[in-house]
Chain A
């Protein structure tokens, strides 16, 4: 209804209802469409301040579906706005227990406390922190999302007179509009987080941006890396389920950390193995990615060594790893049936990386690469001769780390 040139009405009234109504309209309409929690919070803070609410700090939290992160927090102060993840571990600490946020979320109620007369013990540490930073009044309220979940929002003022009744009326009446503005982006973030958890970060990004159909594929260069626990099946035949899972998870943790640290993607876990990929973004990037993959393999080996020391002290068997690295053209994207997809890499280059990794148990090396990789980073590798590869007519030269 608004043309690009027409402007909305300005505030000529001071009744809290009208102010709240204008801000509510902005939140539900324009604010929501930003799809960006930071912009919503910044815009909301600006409008509240412009309408006379003496806001110095605002925080809006929402839950997130993620194994390590329990929520997402967006904070605005007069110095600026920022957002960050709330680790799941916080739920076990006193930072959460007894906090105003816990109170409002669990009771779906509001919480209000003047910060000039705090009780040293009974009032939560976060209130003391706010007071130490110059805060005079604290107000928190619950936000209801339409899936039934409850989130929290808190407001602080440094004005020694605190929040007036009018201020609190305005803030309270914005409960639903704030939820309206934040819920879509909270949900999107949750969805992306789930995708990243189960597909890997690179694929998650592609899928979230619309690569959702079979045939959504790109052909590109990539470094492909297969790593697994050498001889694991044989060794683990007599272990308990719990020991198996622990060993495999510990190994996966090591691999994931090393791969992610160098901007690679874990595409798949296969038994006790891992398929990772380091997409190459141009000829000049090839060497960098090969180096990254090699360093990843080295780090995996080193961290596994450290893990083994710990395992030995616990009376457990050591684990050994074998890694194969190749660089070549791959097809990256969705394969599968029409409604059951896998976002992965396909192509002869992938098969070769896997076969080279198999050779580790033959040569006894823990890391083997192909000529394509060794040619790009010759200082890291030395040849270990020619080998026959199942399914290929030609023998392949393998390279071990120097």
Chain B
């Protein structure tokens, strides 16, 4: 055996060998072979005719070894009961293990004892840990990689440095993301670049994907090892043929498990004349176990970011990730506040069939949220079908009017889409869809409120209250977009004339808000706008 290298040796055991269970023989033969694999105890293989077929019950389990191939399993009937997957055999082993093709081996549960007529060959067990620059890097250096892309690239380099002729390295990592099922990172030695592609959930049903080694491995069926210089392929996947056509001589795909049981996949193609050697595969197999930790940690970090972006919004998510996770006084900022709401929501929820209502609701959210985020706003909260969003104002000179303009634009865009698409999609005799949007500008406190361990990162303050009250005026006045005096002032950049298509509609005193407010209405269109006749009367 070479030092520091993996190898397999197969030898013959002299004399009769019996497998005993509960003192009774399960199998016996004088043609037993012993398999010696680096770092493993000797394993005894029995010719199939040495085992009574009646005690074997075929099992579905299969496992994979890149040296030996795919093992099939049988349950074994013993005096003490059926031992699940108690015996296995490599029916069509790879070259390195041809000597035990069709031979059966038993688990410790079945083979409680071995009885050797002649003393077995001396047990020479290889000294444990195989260390190498590659495995050292994986154990220590790999932790310096800040992104998964970097990790894949460095791994490619280190594999090549170790003399393993990898010309293509791919890693498929499953995501925890509302739209992305998984990320595929591919490093190519010739360009030394890592391409990153994200697959949507549709991929999981795509026949091309189902007919791939990635699918096979991710479904816990074991690994794939296919030398490409042979005539027939056991693993006959299109991608493997493609790689062969591009000059690859060997291909292996292995599970990269995470600690939650999820099975990601790592694949390598070689262009060495003789493909991957046994020693190469040994090294690869060892580091795959170790490097999984870094992929897992980087993926978890990404998942956390994604979850916070998804449920809190990008700006807020970023603050939380940076440690802003305690209740406190928050930060006082200037912001445009946008409140949108569906009128008739109670009626809609009552009268529309449930699934129809949910579909409508989600479409409404799409139509409202997209313009807001496209124009730089941050959705802070969903309140039933109401949406609270803010456009924070920076210290830059014209940002006040800039944010007001963006906010009005997003309100108009949302209103147009809703009018066009949603309002028309409802049954004629059903309740109408009627959206109202209110815009205000002022100081808000942006931070964590809540209990000690249940937080909400949001905005509070009188300006927020006013915005939500204003929204209630939409129906009363028949106007769809309602603006406060301060908002219009910011929009107009304090000039005296009103911006286009905005009309004053009187003043109003809101419940619980001290002074009466000047209120304006805006049309959703940029064309000429005719205000409705309904005026607001001040609260008496």
- Chain A residues engaging chain B, CB cutoff 8 angstroms: 1-10, 12-13, 17-18, 21-22, 24-25, 28-29, 32-35, 65-68, 144-147, 176-177, 180, 183-185, 187-188, 190-191, 194-200, 207, 210, 212-215, 217, 219, 231, 233-234, 237-238, 241-242, 244-245, 248-249, 252-253, 255-257, 260, 266, 268-271, 331, 334-344, 346-348, 350-351, 354-355, 389-392
Contacts and interface: CB of A to CB of B under 8 A. Distances in A.
Nearest to B305: A191
B310 A1 contact: no
B345 A339 contact: no
Contact of A351 (B304, B346, B354): B346
The 8 closest A-B pairs by CB, nearest first: A391-B346, A35-B259, A256-B451, A21-B129, A5-B107, A233-B512, A234-B512, A337-B369
Nearest to A241: B445
B456 A268 contact: yes
Interface stretch (B288-296, B393-401, B479-487): B288-296
Interface string B489-522: 0000000000000000000000111100000000
Interface string B79-119: 00000011110000000000000000111100000000000
A168 to B, nearest CB: 19
Given A214-B362, A335-B382, 11 more contacts: A9-B128, A32-B296, A191-B304, A200-B454, A212-B176, A237-B514, A253-B452, A255-B451, A270-B383, A337-B370, A339-B178
Given A35-B260, A66-B453, A391-B346, A2 B40 contact: yes
Contacts of B326: 67
B330 interface: yes
Contacts of A4: 61, 63, 73, 85, 88, 107
24 contacts: A1-B66, A5-B107, A9-B40, A29-B289, A32-B296, A144-B143, A146-B298, A191-B307, A195-B307, A214-B362, A244-B460, A245-B449, A245-B460, A249-B451, A256-B451, A271-B464, A336-B369, A336-B382, A337-B362, A339-B179, A340-B369, A340-B379, A342-B382, A350-B384
A177 B349 CA distance: 55
B488 interface: no
Nearest to B65: A1
Interface of B: 37, 39-41, 43, 61, 63, 65-66, 71, 73, 85-88, 105-108, 125-129, 131, 139-140, 143, 176-179, 201, 257-261, 285, 289-290, 292-294, 296-298, 300-301, 303-304, 307-313, 320, 323, 325-327, 329-330, 332, 344-347, 349-350, 354, 357-358, 361-362, 365-366, 369-370, 373, 379, 381-384, 445, 448-458, 460-462, 464-465, 468, 511-514
Given A29-B290, A348-B349, A253 B354 contact: no
Contacts of B289: 28-29
A108 B361 CA distance: 53
Nearest to A390: B346
Nearest to A270: B383
Given A28-B139, A336-B365, A183 B293 contact: yes
Contacts of A2: 40
Dominant SS among interface residues on chain B: mixed
A347 B448 CA distance: 28
A269 B369 contact: no
B249 to A, nearest CB: 22
A350 B357 CA distance: 14
Contact of A355 (B127, B293, B346, B512): B346
A253 B451 contact: yes
